[in-house]
Amino acid sequence: MPFDLAARLAARRAENLYRQRPLLESPQGPEVVVDGQPLLAFCNNDYLGLANHPQVIEAWRAGAARWGVGGGASHLVIGHSGPHHALEEALADLTGRPRALLFTTGYMANLGAVTALVGQGDTVLEDRLNHASLLDAGLLSGARFNRYLHNDAQSLANRLEKATGNTLVVTDGVFSMDGDIADLPALARAAKAKGAWLMVDDAHGFGPLGANGGGIVEHFGLSQDDVPVLVGTLGKAFGTAGAFVAGSEELIESLIQFARPYIYTTSQPPALACATLKSLELLRSEHWRREHLQVLIRQFRHGAEQIGLQLMDSFTPIQPILIGDAGRAMRLSQMLRERGLMVTAIRPPTVPAGSARLRVTLTAAHSEAQVQLLLNALAECFAQLGPEPSHA
């Protein structure tokens, strides 16, 4: 029988890979209510604690009063309003680039940029652990698509030798499931040596990384010449929603002409752009948020190592605890939840088979006392979880 969806769903359940949506019944923050239960959450990407900031909320309210609530049309028809334009100029300033272009989601920014830049006869080379939106964009572009070994500039160089046409090298800035950062200087050198362009999706780097929150490119002190295409999302450290691509005048004009997800989508609500302008101001001026976050990251890593947890090589707010077995990761997540803590288990296919993990995310809104509560609960639950199951 065609479309046997029931069998597909049953198989996913049997493999401990079935996903269910938790229902959030409070604003984002460290203390939330999920499915009716008050919880201390370590699983959102609101890295600077701006998603429920009173000044950002007020900027949205004032924006709605002045501009209404709907974008009304695509940017190219009549949907490009004053706040959108002001936000693009502010994002260009943040990234030190001539222009920036707003997209409605990060998925669309990645899809739009890759498919506008390369097509049949061209080559796109991507890190094996890139976000799904980047991989999908590469496949949908029609260009010759290949993946290089994770964060391996030599592996990239080998693939660049065989590239044809215009070549786009694509990487995450901060890898969302491992928390490690791309070796951008080495990747940029390899790309430049072959006349390829480097595109970086720094969704998880803007805010936490860089002296002024400018992300991985600022962290490494690289230029637009090193990274011609820079993508950022606004739903993480910015605390709002949407995404942008920053680059040269020619790049942004080309995206306006050729990026289908940009051309054929209604613009985001103008009031949302007003809120993001305020959060961008806080991201740049309130350095204490990044500094406090770094203190929490060091505290967590030190405490987790003392418990004997297997961490990954990350100095970012993403601190995965490697468990391995998907069922075991689910059990540990459930044990924490019974103690009032929410830490999501991440399982295949989001991560490679055998590398299920708890993905701890820290934010500037957490306190040192809350991080200690998490560490205490992890010590207790990990001891009760017992040894890894035998697969002999």
What does the alpha-carbon distance between residue 352 and residue 17 come to, in Å, rounded to a whole number? 12
Picking from 231, 260, 285, the residue at the C-terminal end of a domain is 285
Q: Looking at beta carbons, which pairs linking 56-61 to residues 24 or more positions away fall under 8 Å?
A: 56/239, 56/240, 56/275, 56/278, 56/279, 56/282, 57/275, 58/278, 59/274, 59/275, 59/277, 59/278, 59/279, 60/271, 60/272, 60/274, 60/275, 61/271
Location of structure tokens 């994770």: 150
Picking from 285, 307, 342, the residue at the C-terminal end of a domain is 285
Q: Per the domain annotation, does 14 fall within a domain?
A: no
Is there a single domain that holds both residue 250 and residue 135? yes
What number of other Cβ atoms are within 10 A of residue 67's Cβ? 20
| Contact status, residue 314 vs residue 179, Cβ threshold 8 Å | yes
The DSSP secondary-structure symbol of 22 reads -
Is there a single domain that holds both residue 186 and residue 266? yes
Amino acid code (one letter) for 229: V
pLDDT higher for 2 or 356?
A: 356
The domain spanning residue 317 has which CATH number? 3.90.1150.10
Is there a single domain that holds both residue 360 and residue 278? no
User: What domain count does the chain have?
Assistant: 2
Q: Per the domain annotation, does 98 fall within a domain?
A: yes
Is there a single domain that holds both residue 93 and residue 120? yes
Is there a single domain that holds both residue 201 and residue 91? yes
| Residue 233 is assigned to a ligand binding site | yes
The DSSP secondary-structure symbol of 370 reads H
Is there a single domain that holds both residue 343 and residue 296? yes
Is there a single domain that holds both residue 183 and residue 271? yes
pLDDT digits (tens, 9 = 90+) for 45-64: 999 999 999 999 999 999 99
pLDDT digits (tens, 9 = 90+) for 100-134: 999 999 999 999 999 999 999 999 999 999 999 99
Please name every residue paired with 33 in a beta bridge, in sequence order, or none if there are none: 38
Tokens (6 digits) for 16: 């401990």
Picking from 216, 251, 285, the residue at the C-terminal end of a domain is 285
| Residue 106 is assigned to a ligand binding site | yes
What does the alpha-carbon distance between residue 94 and residue 234 come to, in Å, rounded to a whole number? 13
The domain spanning residue 214 has which CATH number? 3.40.640.10
Is there a single domain that holds both residue 216 and residue 340? no
| Residue 19 is assigned to a ligand binding site | yes
Residue 205: its pLDDT value, please?
98
Q: Per the domain annotation, does 151 fall within a domain?
A: yes
Neighbour order of strands in the sheet with 356-361:
318-324, 356-361, 344-346
Q: Per the domain annotation, does 229 fall within a domain?
A: yes
CA 350 to chain centre: 13
Is there a single domain that holds both residue 278 and residue 291? no
- Kindly list the catalytic residues: 176, 204, 236
| Residue 350 is assigned to a ligand binding site | yes
Residue 1: its pLDDT value, please?
57
Which domain range does residue 42 map to?
20-48+287-385
Is there a single domain that holds both residue 36 and residue 82? no
Threshold 0.85, pTM exceeds: yes
pLDDT digits (tens, 9 = 90+) for 79-99: 999 999 999 999 999 999 999
Whether 340 has a pLDDT exceeding 70, the answer reads: yes
| Residue 107 is assigned to a ligand binding site | yes
Question: What is the average pLDDT value for the chain, to the nearest integer?
Answer: 95
Q: Per the domain annotation, does 11 fall within a domain?
A: no
Is there a single domain that holds both residue 107 and residue 44? no
Q: Per the domain annotation, does 4 fall within a domain?
A: no
Q: Per the domain annotation, does 392 fall within a domain?
A: no
What is the phi/psi pair of residue 48, to 5°?
-105, 5
Tokens (6 digits) for 248: 């040269």
Is there a single domain that holds both residue 159 and residue 268? yes
| Residue 148 is assigned to a ligand binding site | no
